[in-house]
Amino acid sequence: GDSVTQMEGPVTLSEEAFLTINCTYTATGYPSLFWYVQYPGEGLQLLLKATKADDKGSNKGFEATYRKETTSFHLEKGSVQVSDSAVYFCALSDDSNYQLIWGAGTKLIIKP
């Protein structure tokens, strides 16, 4: 079945560093891809999404490009801030049965 694999965390960076969180997927159809973020003590919220190959999602300085040839949707940010410390989840939509398939999450820690 469909699946999502994320790099294991925690990822620890200094403020203003460049961020990459890897996400790869396997899917039989043409899923939409998502990044959700969970700040401490809160529920998840959508960070960005891409619905077809070569689409780039972006929000709050974060970007991710839907790469069908490498089945990847890596999250990037050029200069992270302490406020970006959170858990980041990659997910894909399985339109055949109304479900989202989730990665395990990557905890990001930004030190001042």
Partner 1 sequence: NAGVTQTPKFQVLKTGQSMTLQCAQDMNHEYMSWYRQDPGMGLRLIHYSVGAGITDQGEVPNGYNVSRSTTEDFPLRLLSAAPSQTSVYFCASSYSISGPLGGGDEQYFGPGTRLTVT
Binding span for partner 1 by CB under 8 A among 18-26, 43-51, 74-82: 43-51
Picking from 51, 35, 56, 48, the residue whose alpha carbon sits closest to that of residue 108 is: 35
100 touches partner 1 by CB under 8 A:
yes
**Closer Cβ to partner 1, 19 or 50, answer by number:** 50
Per rule CB under 8 A, count of chain residues that contact partner 1: 22
What is residue 83's three-state secondary structure?
Answer: helix
β-strand partners of 49:
34
Nearest distance from residue 16's CB to partner 1, in Å? 29
Q: How far apart are CA 98 and CA 81, in angstroms?
A: 35
Nearest distance from residue 23's CB to partner 1, in Å? 12
